[in-house]
Amino acid sequence: MEPIAKTYQPAEVEEKWYQRWQEQGFFQSKPNPRKPAYSVVIPPPNVTGVLHMGHMLNNTIQDVLVRRARMLGKEACWVPGTDHASIATEAKVVQMLKERGIAKTDLTREEFLKYAWEWKEKYGGIILEQLKKLGASCDWSRTRFTMEPDLTEAVLRVFVDLYQKGLIYRGVRMVNWDPQGLTAISDEEVVSKESQLKMFYLRYPVVGAEGEFLTVATSRPETIMADVAVCVNPHDERYQHLIGQQVQIPLLGRAIPVIADEYVTMDFGTGALKVTPAHDLNDYELGQKHNLPVIDILNDNGTLNEKAVLYVGQDRFAVRKQIAKDLDAAGLLVKVDEYQSILQTSERTGAVIEPRLSMQWFLKMAEMAGPALQVVEDDRVKLYPAKFKNTYRVWMENIRDWCISRQLWWGQRIPAFYLPDGSFVVALTAEEALEQAREQSGNSALQISDLRQDEDVLDTWFSSWLWPISVFDGFKDPDNADINYYYPTDDLVTAPEILFFWVARMIMAGLEYRHDVPFRNVYLTGIVRDDQGRKMSKQLGNSPDPLDLIAQYGADGVRTGMLFSSPAGNDLLFDIKLVEQGRNFTNKIWNAFRLTQGWEVNAELLFPNEKATEWFQAKLQDALAQLEDHFDKFRMSDSLMTVYKLVWDDFCSVYLEMVKPAYQQPIDPETLRRTTGFFEQLLKLLHPFMPFITEEIWHLLAERGPKDYVCVAPWPKQQAVAGSADILSNMDRALDIVAGVRNIRNQKGLGPNKPLTLAAKTDDTALLREYDAIIRKLSALTEINAVDAAPAASVGFVSGGVEFFVPLEGQIDLGAEKERLGKELEYTQGFRASVLQKLGNEKFVQNAKPELVEKERQKLADAEAKIAALEQSLAAL
């Protein structure tokens, strides 16, 4: 065997083992009736994406679950893939073309798509390759892409089916328009941001009443040219005389009516609302109710069109600044106030959303939402943490129709075909569309060239809501072996912000097309934030590059660092110290391995470590029971901490210290055999969290067969240990005695190996006899004696109700120690006196906050306890 490296070198280990796992086919999965299935589908990252801290957390958790399932003997299948991300990818391609001096408008759709596929093939798989660096054990042979032919066909089939069922319709509705992405987006793609906005108070001249004005407050003066009315509350006495009259739009001069509706709040702004149906959802509904016209003054890109008359061709925000100046100059601006409000922005581009009337395709949601809510209420789909069930319920009970069309070229093109007369048919292919069109129109002479396919594509989420079915080809062949074996999947790990974007919709699709839920458990991770609580982003410059972290600290160190403080549903305050702690843990494991490998064996030695090994076996079984409970409840941080404490505290810091032979002395074969067995069990428990170092040590620990990897080793089974509770309790008592002796060593500066004796004032010496060797070894004691009284010149402590004493005569300078203790006693007595004086002040006790008074009382109690201990130590000396 080659000599073991002094320090663990992750860079030399990680690529080697990942390649071997793949060569052995350990991650590949196929239906196996002899095993229970365990399947997970990856939340497909955008093809535009690169690995960020959120991906690191999400995929580490998935990998932990999948690796453990594999070790539990399940047929584990983790399906990877990417999402075509219509808006984000089209923006990337447009930018690429711009850099080449090409405008999208200069290209045909087919030409643009050639460039888009070129971009996708070059950059689309980067993030999946990066996930391999993290150790993700996906079945890469199953990698899917939401726009590959089979998945695209599934999307189109579902569109046609839902249209035929009357659930998809086309109509003019108010939508969220992204002027930068040049497309409609769904309500769930709108991000609300608190912002400091301005409220402009404008004078609308009353027609036929010289010098009279109606003052209207608006945050969007650039839209006044689209006003069609001013609305007041019918019970507002200020405006009773104006109802039915007309006012003029400032600057523009067009006359519009004053109408009345209880929708208007009398105590907000001026109580007079300008009605702009084309650019506000509530105004649109008000306009419908009062039969008002609609004037849309905005172009797709947020500039003003000819219908505005004024400021044509200028950007909406540039107009806002200019019109305020022009209104002021015309004496039509009363004042401008600042106020805190919510700004609606596009999740994809960050642009401020424009509510806009637009002809779009919609999916009715109410009918599908009912069953999807019920399966979560009944826990057929369990949300972790359960607090999200309420959030889910509120959303599902107030669901709106889903705008599923997008004004883009990259994506699945809507399979609707328009006839020359403007009517349309919906069909999977142009050939099917032609057949329907001929039948619908009665014109058998129609040709495919007479039909025009809809220009829009489907919302990206309309493909990813089918993901758990489509990745197993459940639409292509609804009865194939994969879908029957792996569906429903087991666990979904995702972020709370896409609970509705994706999770709810996948549940709807699963119930609609498989009559079953798509997964049984949904683990909702938190957001990774910096130590100041800010969401990590490249813009803020507070997000480290995950690959840089892996290069510096090793993948295992980063994985454990991410999991140390990531409770489900709660945000993770990332601190580089967590990753350093993860790296330190890998070093601790490596050093423990090196220690055990450095022991020489003497076959003639008897086995002296029965107590130590039975105790660690009980500890191991106790940890296994805790782990089972944590995993069952998806407490991932707690799972890791259970293993961490078992390895660092119990195995490395205690067990190995109990059993290791004296310096340069051999060890007995039975202790080494049991210790190696414990190490193998620990490597199995650690493997899901730290796959690389565990595989490396597994192969260095013993000769292994060609398929003998910890990656596929069986998960340790719980085994009852007779008398486990007593074993653990007795060892705890023994270790508490050790801690008492070590504390005295630290206090008196006696060093860890200076020989001492210990005296116990007790008649019950059973525990001391039983654990004599362990206590003496861990405390560096020469002997332990039972005594009737405290020995002279000794320092004591209490453990388990028994007084223990460490004689110090000859160990320290007693005179100097008495002097030191006397000074410390004098200082503490003075401190107590100052606290007593404070508490004796009635004004302080009566007026100070209760928590401050309680704090002072605690100080007093601590001081008195310390004085008693110091007096006892002085008396003993």
DSSP per-residue codes, 346-371? ETTT-PBPEEEEEEEEEE--HHHHHH
DSSP 3-state assignment of 758? strand
Q: First-to-last CA distance in the chain?
A: 56
User: pTM here?
Assistant: 0.84
Tokens linked to 771: 């654990």
**Spans in the chain with pLDDT lower than 70:** 1-2, 188, 537-540, 567-569, 813, 876-877
Q: Does 538 show up as a binding residue in the annotation?
A: yes
Residue 371: asked if its preceding bond is cis (omega within 30°), the reply is no
Looking at residue 821, its pLDDT comes to 79
Task: Write down the CATH number for the domain with range 722-805.
Answer: 3.30.2320
Report residue 357 CA to chain centroid gap: 35
Handedness of CA 122, 410, 160, 168 (dihedral sign): positive
Name the DSSP letter for residue 199.
E
Alpha carbon distance 790, 793 (integer Å): 9
Alpha carbon distance 409, 87 (integer Å): 9
User: Do 193 and 345 meet the contact criterion of CB atoms below 8 Å apart?
Assistant: yes
Alpha carbon distance 135, 137 (integer Å): 6
Torsion from C-alpha of 535, 541, 545, 546, nearest 10 degrees:
-10
Tokens linked to 292: 């008002």
Q: Which residues lie closer than 8 Å to 136 by C-beta, 6 or more apart?
A: 59, 62, 63, 78, 80
User: Do 793 and 876 meet the contact criterion of CB atoms below 8 Å apart?
Assistant: yes
Looking at residue 749, its pLDDT comes to 83
**What residue type is 10 in one-letter code?**
P
Alpha carbon distance 221, 227 (integer Å): 10
Tokens linked to 501: 């974007």
Name the DSSP letter for residue 809.
B
Which secondary structure element, helix H or strand E, spans residue 26, and what is its range?
none
Looking at residue 396, its pLDDT comes to 94
> Angle of helix 814-839 relative to helix 850-876, nearest 10 degrees?
160
Alpha carbon distance 62, 297 (integer Å): 49
User: Do 771 and 800 meet the contact criterion of CB atoms below 8 Å apart?
Assistant: no
Q: Which residues lie closer than 8 Å to 11 by C-beta, 6 or more apart?
A: 551, 554
User: Do 794 and 781 meet the contact criterion of CB atoms below 8 Å apart?
Assistant: no
User: Do 793 and 748 meet the contact criterion of CB atoms below 8 Å apart?
Assistant: no
Torsion from C-alpha of 806, 809, 812, 814, nearest 10 degrees:
110
Choose which CATH entry (1.10.287, 1.10.443, 1.20.272, 1.20.1050) describes domain 813-877: 1.10.287
The residue assigned the tokens 């793609």 is: 189
Task: Give 257's strand partners.
Answer: 246
Question: CA 296, 297, 300 angle in degrees (round to 5)?
Answer: 90
Q: Please provide the DSSP assignment of 640-663 as one string.
A: HHHHHHIIIIIIIIIIHHHHPPST
User: Do 142 and 471 meet the contact criterion of CB atoms below 8 Å apart?
Assistant: yes
Looking at residue 568, its pLDDT comes to 61
Protein fold of 575-708: Isoleucyl-tRNA Synthetase; Domain 1 (1.10.730)
Looking at residue 537, its pLDDT comes to 66
Alpha carbon distance 314, 284 (integer Å): 24
Give the ranges where 564-635 is alpha helix by DSSP (H).
576-597, 610-632
Name the DSSP letter for residue 277.
G
In whole angstroms, how large is the CA radius of gyration of the chain? Answer: 37
Q: Which residues lie closer than 8 Å to 861 by C-beta, 6 or more apart?
A: none
Name the DSSP letter for residue 606.
-
DSSP 3-state assignment of 445? coil
Q: Please provide the DSSP assignment of 691-749 as one string.
A: HHHHHHHHHHHS---TT--GGGSPPPPP---TTHHHHHHHHHHHHHHHHHHHHHHHHHT
User: Do 509 and 78 meet the contact criterion of CB atoms below 8 Å apart?
Assistant: no
Strand order in the sheet with 183-185: 183-185, 168-178, 354-363, 402-403
Q: Please provide the DSSP assignment of 454-502 as one string.
A: -S-EE-THHHHTTHHHHTTTTTT-TT-HHHHHHPSEEEEEE-GGGIIII
Exposed, middle or buried by CB within 10 Å (0-12, 13-18, 19+), for 324? middle
Delimit the CATH 3.30.2320 region(s) of the chain. Answer: 722-805
Looking at residue 764, its pLDDT comes to 87
Alpha carbon distance 270, 258 (integer Å): 14
The values of phi and psi at residue 739, to 5°, are -65, -35
Spell out where 26-131 has E strands.
37-41, 75-79, 81-82
Delimit the CATH 3.40.50.620 region(s) of the chain. Answer: 10-157+462-529
What would you measure as the largest C-alpha separation in the chain, in angstroms? Answer: 118
Delimit the CATH 1.10.730.10 region(s) of the chain. Answer: 575-708
The values of phi and psi at residue 166, to 5°, are 80, 15
Give the CA distances from residue 625 to residues 618, 621, 631, 722, in Å, rounded to whole numbers and listed in that order. Answer: 11, 6, 10, 15
The residue assigned the tokens 């002296």 is: 608
Name the DSSP letter for residue 104.
G
Task: Write down the CATH number for the domain with range 10-157+462-529.
Answer: 3.40.50.620
Protein fold of 190-349: Isoleucyl-tRNA Synthetase; domain 2 (3.90.740)
Q: Are strands 213-218 and 229-232 parallel, antiparallel or unpaired?
A: unpaired
Delimit the CATH 3.90.740.10 region(s) of the chain. Answer: 190-349
